[in-house]
Amino acid sequence: MGRREGLRILGAVAALLFPWVAGDYARFLAVEVLALALFAVSYNLLLGYGGMLSLGHAAPFGIGAYTVALLALRGGQSSVLVALPAAVAAAMLAALLTGLFVVRSSQVFFTMLTLAFAQMFYALASRWYAVTGGDTGLPGLPPPSLGPWTLSSGTALYYLALLLAGGGLWALWRLVRSPFGLTLRATRENPRRSAFLGVRVARVRLATYVVAWGWAAVAGALWAWNQRAAFPDTLYWSRSAEVMAMTILGGQGSFFGPVLGAALITVLEPLLNRLWEYWSLSLGLVVILVVFLLPQGLLGGRAERRRGRLGDVRGEGAGQRAGSGARSA
Amino acid sequence: MQGALLQVLNGLTYAAFLFLLSAGLTLIFGVMRIVNFAHGSLAMLGAYVAFDAASRAGGDLWVGLAAAVAVMVPLGVLLEAGLLRPLQRRGDLYVILFTYGLVLVMGDLVKLLWGPEYKSLPRPGFLAGAAGLGPLLFPAYNLMLIAVAALVALVIALVLNRTAFGMRLRAVSADRETAEALGIHAAALGAWVFGLGVGLAALGGALVLPVLTVAPSFGVEVVVEAFIVVVVGGLGNVWGALLGSVLIGVSRAFGIALFPAFEQALIYAVMAAVLIVRPWGLLGRAPLERN
């Protein structure tokens, strides 16, 4: 384990020193990667651990972004300590309201309804001109403040992002390894048997859904501070597609797979955009290629091998099992 | 009163389109147990093919319709047999992911081939005017659209209830395993149903070209509405799709007339209300459980 520890310390030091060696654009991109990594891991709580394929995860992301933007621009409140809890609370409330409809439904219904409800939030944001600014969104977001400090520099924002994304990843890591996380995986593997064992499947799913939306709102808030704006596009279905692509590219069967997927796609997007403007085509091809050629994602196979070594023998791949809920539900 | 009647007709026009889309979606689900997320995008592709063919033929809509169906039905069959069927063995998750990947690809593909602008076609000459319905004047083309959807519903009813193909389809839809045990080749049926469903969607997409405009975002916009329709009506049930289309189409028309900014919100309110009362949709049943 000595080498692993060493690599970890090296990684932590590199992450802490990064903003001092990087330029403005690299810092901006790094905050983006951190926000989207947290976004993708929160998404994978649903997909990988809960077997719930959501196509509406843009909704909590956008709710987080819009909450901090509205508080700052309409309420004059840009303190992280106020805006962030407000963003999380708003997304969790929305998750509770829509979750009551979506979590009791089987896989296919779940997927369709998440897409439909997310588009509802998009329709609200893009049409409700009086509050959300409609199509133009809410540009000109002031930098967030933390106590007496204003986090106006890219470096300060980077550290905020590192703190929030790191904290979020740590909390989610603990969650999936807690008894609750194991119960969640049991409901994914076999909802009926879990119900026989006394697990309240719908309640476990709802709790997961609400938690995932809460962390996605943190990611959305970070993203808005980094972009200094919130747009209806933040909520558009293509963002849900993007986070799904990140997650399966990295591997939904592994905890850190989505982080890798988020980093790759975030860095790839500006590079590819320089070559041609058809980002959604590239993303779609990535999704299709992963589905056919790399169904476990980049890190999924590795997680599988490790589980095999630990003696946690399972018939099929973890990713494959995520889909099996549909048939039994 | 007249205004309300006009809105009902407007709603039925849109319902006609929604039904052409959701009938295929719901039949495909019934037989194959997959939700085709690319259904709206395939309708959109059909619309672009129709636009392309019609523009070459001097704006003749009928040429466009024929071209859309002739291109999209084989494409649907090939898609099912070549890509979807092998993938189904891997799990439902991958099928959903794949059809969603198609959505992303097709959105940009039509942009690449036909540009990002809105596309539309003129109404054919003899349907260009308005038809009198008692005191009411309503575009003749829209009435034709409603009639086409009604005709399609009638044909589907006849095929499902009066033909051997329809009987096999209903059997697979009700209980796939038993139907297969009785010698029905469910997989081959799937390809046909998929092809026909895509054909209907393409027909719908092409038929609304003179009424709506079609842009690369069309696929997702309409598939979300088709989802709402089948969820409200009951997934896998054609009559549910018909009922859902009328309900959503008419709600949408009144929403546009009464609260123009939030017509979408009204549709979601209808969906939520139905799901509270009947979680499996108006005509749907809880799925068969089997482990």
Q: Name which of B37, B93, B266, B270 to mutate to probe chain A: the one with the most chain A Cβ atoms within 10 A of its Cβ.
A: B93
| A-B contacts (CB, under 8 Å) | 135
Q: Provide the pLDDT for residue A315.
A: 38
Interface contact flag, B94 A115, Cβ < 8 Å = no
A74-111, pLDDT tens digit by residue? 887 888 888 899 999 999 999 999 898 888 777 778 88
Q: Provide the pLDDT for residue A303.
A: 59
b/e A30-51 (16+ beta carbons within 10 angstroms → b):
bbbbbbbbbbbbbbbbbbbbbb
Q: Which residue of B has its CA nearest to A252?
A: B93
pLDDT at A302 over 70: no
Interface contact flag, B289 A279, Cβ < 8 Å = no
pLDDT at A41 over 90: yes
Element (H, E) at A230: strand A229-230
Which residues on chain B are in Cβ contact (under 8 Å) with A105?
Answer: 279
A1-32, pLDDT tens digit by residue? 577 888 888 888 888 877 777 788 888 889 99
Hey, what long-range contacts does B159-165 have (CB within 8 A, 24 or more apart)? Answer: B160/B238, B165/B192
Q: Provide the pLDDT for residue B146.
A: 93
Q: What is the ipTM of this complex?
A: 0.85
0.95 exceeded by pTM: no
Which residues on chain A are in Cβ contact (under 8 Å) with B102?
Answer: 284, 288
Q: Provide the pLDDT for residue B65.
A: 92
pLDDT at A50 over 70: yes
Q: What is the mean pLDDT of chain B?
A: 88
For B283, phi and psi rounded to 5 degrees?
Answer: -110, 10
Banded model confidence at residue A228, pLDDT cuts 50, 70, 90: confident
B114-124, pLDDT tens digit by residue? 988 888 888 88
pLDDT at A216 over 70: yes
Interface contact flag, B90 A320, Cβ < 8 Å = yes
B69-91, pLDDT tens digit by residue? 999 999 999 999 888 888 888 87
Interface contact flag, B261 A128, Cβ < 8 Å = yes
Q: Which residue of B has its CA nearest to A240?
A: B100
Interface contact flag, B279 A127, Cβ < 8 Å = no
A168-213, pLDDT tens digit by residue? 999 999 999 999 999 999 888 888 888 888 888 889 999 999 999 9
- Residues B98 and B83 sit within 8 Å (Cβ to Cβ): yes
Q: Which amino acid is at A140?
A: G
Q: Cα separation of B74 and B81, whole Å?
A: 11
B213-263, pLDDT tens digit by residue? 898 889 888 988 998 899 899 888 889 999 999 999 999 898 888 887 777
Which residues on chain A are in Cβ contact (under 8 Å) with B261?
Answer: 127-129
User: How much is the average pLDDT of B83-110?
Assistant: 88
Banded model confidence at residue A324, pLDDT cuts 50, 70, 90: very low
B11-36, pLDDT tens digit by residue? 999 999 999 999 999 999 888 888 88
Which are the contacts of A25, defined by CB distance < 8 A and separation ≥ 6? none
Which are the contacts of B284, defined by CB distance < 8 A and separation ≥ 6? B233, B234, B235, B236, B237, B240, B278
User: How much is the average pLDDT of B280-291?
Assistant: 68
Q: Provide the pLDDT for residue B105.
A: 93
Which are the contacts of A126, defined by CB distance < 8 A and separation ≥ 6? A132, A134, A135, A232
Interface contact flag, B100 A241, Cβ < 8 Å = yes
Q: Provide the pLDDT for residue A128.
A: 83
Interface contact flag, A278 B91, Cβ < 8 Å = no
Interface contact flag, A284 B103, Cβ < 8 Å = yes
Burial label for B113, CB within 10 Å (0-12, 13-18, 19+), is exposed
A244-278, pLDDT tens digit by residue? 888 988 888 888 989 999 999 888 888 888 877 88
Q: Provide the pLDDT for residue B158.
A: 93
Which residues on chain B are in Cβ contact (under 8 Å) with A278?
Answer: 108, 111-112
More confident residue, A163 or B265: A163
Does the CA dihedral A154-A155-A160-A166 come out positive or negative? positive
Q: What whole-number percentage of chain A has pLDDT above 90?
A: 31
User: Cα angle at B81 between B19 and A55, to 5 degrees?
Assistant: 55
Interface contact flag, B261 A105, Cβ < 8 Å = no
Which residues on chain A are in Cβ contact (under 8 Å) with B289?
Answer: 192, 328
Banded model confidence at residue B290, pLDDT cuts 50, 70, 90: very low
Which residues on chain A are in Cβ contact (under 8 Å) with B37?
Answer: 55
Q: Where are the alpha helices (DSSP H) in A178-251?
A: 179-189, 191-196, 201-227, 237-250
Q: Provide the pLDDT for residue A321.
A: 42
C-alpha distances in angstroms, B85 versus B183, B194, B221?
A: 19, 11, 26
pLDDT at A319 over 60: no
Among A206-215, B106-115, B273-282, top mean pLDDT goes to A206-215
Q: Cα separation of A73 and B177, whole Å?
A: 59
